[in-house]
Amino acid sequence: MKVDVYGINGQSTGRSVDLPDEIFGIEPNDHAMYLAVKSIQANKRQGTHKSKERGEIKGSTKKIKKQKGTGTARAGSIKNPLFRGGGRMFGPRPRTYSVTLNKKVKALARKSALSSKAAAGTLKIIEDFTFDAPRTKEFATVLNNLEVANKKTLFVMSGADKNLVLSSRNIKKANVLDASVVSTLDIMSAGQVFMSEASVNKLKEAFSK
């Protein structure tokens, strides 16, 4: 699949690159993408929630009233969950929410996400570029030239260029990532994806392993 290469001025460079069909032209597997996104989001959860149960709070264990004849429910301790200040019944405990996926499912999910964006026309190839120093204004100009200033945009580059990352950091809807760490969630969350020419080759190498 041949696609045009755009410059950061928003115009076509006259060159084109051949995107491999086995990465950008497969039938998207919705279930694999769902599993990958679920795994990423679940792995972000800390799982440190905890509430005290009746055996963990301070309080007397003396029986506070007689067993029968009061007309109310039995109560053996002030730490009874029915009383104010008592322990919580079946409260949350620390746990891990992590979901493990095998490499083939992760790779299929990323290929499906890239193919989905390519089919929808929201994936474009741009020339490799960088800045001499971090400049938010220059990066904003690039977004304006590409007509994505108000869209959630992902730039996939070959290598995490420090100046590019710092230039985009103050722009809320823009994100710059290295091709080796971009995830299915990153791709699917973006309204428009731009990939540098070098990042395409980097993805080819990553998927060939």
Residue 162 has pLDDT above 80, yes or no: yes
Please write the tens of the pLDDT for every residue from 101-114. 999 999 999 999 99
Average pLDDT over residues 86-91: 92
Residue 14 domain-assigned? yes
pLDDT of residue 56: 92
Residue 84 domain-assigned? no
Residue 85 domain-assigned? no
Q: Kindly report the CA angle at 11 between 113 and 201, in degrees rounded to 5?
A: 40
Residue 199 domain-assigned? yes
Residue 208 pLDDT class (50, 70, 90 cuts): confident
Average pLDDT over residues 157-184: 89
- Helix (H) or strand (E) holding 34, with range, is helix 30-43
Residue 209 has pLDDT above 80, yes or no: no
8 Å CB contact between 85 and 64: no
Distance, in Å, from the CA atom of 15 to the CA atom of 30, rounded to the nearest integer, reads 32
All residues at 6 or more sequence positions from 115 whose CB lies less than 8 Å from its CB, including other chains: 23, 24, 25, 26, 27, 28
All residues at 6 or more sequence positions from 33 whose CB lies less than 8 Å from its CB, including other chains: 109, 112, 113, 116, 184, 188
pLDDT of residue 79: 93
Residue 83 domain-assigned? no
Indicate the pTM of the whole model: 0.82
Residue 28 pLDDT class (50, 70, 90 cuts): very high
Q: Indicate which CATH number applies to the domain containing 200.
A: 3.40.1370.10
Residue keyed to tokens 């995830």: 183
Residue 146 domain-assigned? yes
Residue 161 pLDDT class (50, 70, 90 cuts): confident
Residue 184 domain-assigned? yes
Domain that holds residue 137: 2-31+99-208
DSSP string computed for 36-62 = HHHHHHHHT---------TTTS----S
pLDDT of residue 75: 87
Residue 61 has pLDDT above 90, yes or no: no
All residues at 6 or more sequence positions from 188 whose CB lies less than 8 Å from its CB, including other chains: 33, 37, 113, 116
Q: Kindly report the CA angle at 144 between 148 and 181, in degrees rounded to 5?
A: 50
Mean pLDDT of the chain: 91
Amino acid symbol at 123: L
Count up the domains in the chain and report the number. Answer: 1
Average pLDDT over residues 133-148: 92
Residue 136 domain-assigned? yes
